[in-house]
Structure 1
Amino acid sequence: MFTSLTEKLHEVFKKLKSKGKLTEEDVNAALKEVRVALLEADVNFKVVKDFVARVRERAVGQEILANLNPAHQVIKIVREELTALMGGQDARLNTAAKPPTVIMMVGLQGSGKTTTAAKLSLFLKKQGRRPLLVAADIYRPAAIKQLQVLGEQIQVPVFSREGDPVAIAVGAVEEAGKKGYDPVIIDTAGRLHINEELMTELERLKAAVKPHEILLVVDAMTGQDAVRVAETFHQRLGLDGVVLTKLDGDTRGGAALSIRAVTGCPIKFAGVGEKLDMLELFHPDRMADRILGMGDILTLIEKAQTTLDAQQAVEMQKRIKSADFNLEDFLTQLRQFKKMGPLEHILSMLPGFGGMKKLREEFQFDERELVWAEAIINSMTPEERRHPEIIDGSRRRRIARGCGLTVQDVNRLLKQFEQTKKLVRQLTSFEKGFKKGAKLGRFPFM
């Protein structure tokens, strides 16, 4: 996500920092490179022009150029303007004064609309609500079945019946009122392109159910096409918000940086993975930090809090401190880690990781290795998992045959486990030294 843009901006600001005191020419040269980077990221030309003009106006003032650390001031201005460009503040869903809240999901075929409807249902279900999914796409083959399968996976009911999409949606709202479902999430029909037939049906549906929220689902990888689609839908339907999908893919970021400025519609959610729990609230300030390579620690913490077992974490901490960390604990940690999502997505939230190409290359990791590690440990006996020091050559060959991998793969895992144990001991020792140093007013890293 935004990898190329982040790298280019990182290089621009690296040059600024090396200059110490800045001149107006330095700022103009840097902004020229920023402009090129944004255009290459497929950001709307007018949006880029206005953005650079605002940054220049703020950055060439005497107050900035005379500052002791002017480069950091310029970066601060760029961050604030990027945040403003994407909406400035978090945008929340509209809710009905009297339930149920009706949410209409609209968009073109292939944008991930049906899957996003299910993701949104799961997101709201985790907040204690009782969503009802509505299969109102009667045209795309298997669209209804797809929604029913997704509904079963997340244990959310799906309303479907034969007939006109408008009648189906009206019936679903009535059903929700009787049975206490809230919200009602309507998966509407899409087309391969925008046409009058699609828009007319959506306008009829809007008039019939009077939705409190109309969300447009757009594929972030389509760049400026996504912006044009959003503009057309907004003119005809009056959108309340946008959901960007596939932000975990090889997207240049143009849609995320252009949609709000061009249409005035806030981005409310971002799809960051294929799994049904990979939908995040869109935070303009946090996204600006990611683009600038500053990471997103807040989202990482929130993700950990929602996916990791707190009680299990406390127990694991006790085992680590007692130096009784074995392969069963290692397997538990791997499974917890997998719940948080793709490794690359997690690493992208760490400060400095996004803008440093060399660092990313060093941390290249095959997601399949987590699966292989789990298979190797599962092929061990309980005693071997608790006492890995007893695993000799013959045991390694048996374990390799049991999981369908090689002895070298088993050796590599055991080596990684020993390195992890060593790191754990170092961290525990550091923690003890830190607490002791804090009492004496001295710290081990100073």
Structure 2
Amino acid sequence: MDFAIPESLTPILARMREFVDAHVIPVEAAFHEADDFSAVEARMVEVRAKAKAAGLWLPQMSERHGGMGLSLLEHGLVSEVLGRSPLGHYAFNCQAPDAGNMEILAEYGTKAQRETFLEPLLAGETRSCFAMTEPGRAGSNPVWLETRARVEGDTITLDGHKWFTTAADGAAFAIVMAVTEPDAAPHERASMIIVPTDTPGFTLVRNIPIMGEAGSGWASHAEVRFDDCKVPVTNMLGMPGAGFFIAQARLGPGRIHHCMRWLGICDRAFSMMCERAATRELSPGKFLGEKQTIQNWIAESRAEIDSARLAVLYAAWRIDAVGQKAARVEVSAIKFHVAKILRNVLERAIQTHGALGITDDTVLSFFYRHERGAQIYDGPDEVHKSVVAREVLKTYGMDPRAVALARKAAAREGDK
């Protein structure tokens, strides 16, 4: 097996790393201090213009859509570099949730939808959000939705309540998962509907505080409501009832992006931990890095990051080679595995920094607050572990889901 980075990608990764160090990381201090993201966004306009001029814009999109045309594996390597800064992906217009929204609009949008919603998004002129999670429904069961969208003639009327709608604050439109086919099979009930955020009936209730920090703009997670919210039927994305199918197409590659971004965070935290260990004096001439516990943390972190990176790149290669469905075990495995390693590395880096680590004088506390959700969003760890375990057990002749269904059927028969 060849573990070398593709020759064509090596200079791109080097340029991106240099760009992040020179233009993005210097904006972080203002980002952490600002109460309103619009102030930081104004500074990022210049940074984004430089990224576009440098030919580093939209790494996740095809050249046909003005992007760099990278494969999933290549974009994974890019995500690792950009993940070193909270603003990294935003600088290159490949941040969540916009990146996923761009991909599904490009794939499933009509010509009119692409012109109205996709083109400004690709240009960096607008932002968007994705509304699926609901406070009254378990996020681990994405087909169980309360939000309804009634199709009546040329109009769709939405009523419902969503939360953790990332980046709704300042977004031009939302892509909303809502039930349009209530009598259909569970995976065929919901549709995706494009809702401009200035539509009457759309309300941004609040930006949800994450461990005490509400955030704003692109860095927010909002609670939103739809009350008799009407949009044209032409705003439906794809076919009626295709919402879950489109969501799966969006989420699979997105998990690769997330995992590589987390590894970028690990890389930054690891470097900070090592620098701290090498320079922090405990007493004159005695350094923190001499302590065996610190050395153990450095060694364990290095081994975990390297092993996780290979697992993610393998999963990305599998998706490129055999498709998302055939690679679902690998994707689920990296989702919970890398999230745990991210938590481990951040914990060690913060502990190595002592009291400094829990302040906002370094980026570590931001990463710790905002990335604890890595073990929850895009499917909690426990769900992904179940996926992996079920598929493994099938190779031993047992299908846990089939066994459970058979047991329920037998119990129903016994009650008759």
TM-score bracket, normalised by the shorter chain, equals under 0.3
* Higher RCO, Cα 8 Å, sep 6+: 1
Larger Rg: 1
Give the alignment's TM-score, normalised by structure 2.
Answer: 0.24
* TM value normalised by structure 1: 0.23
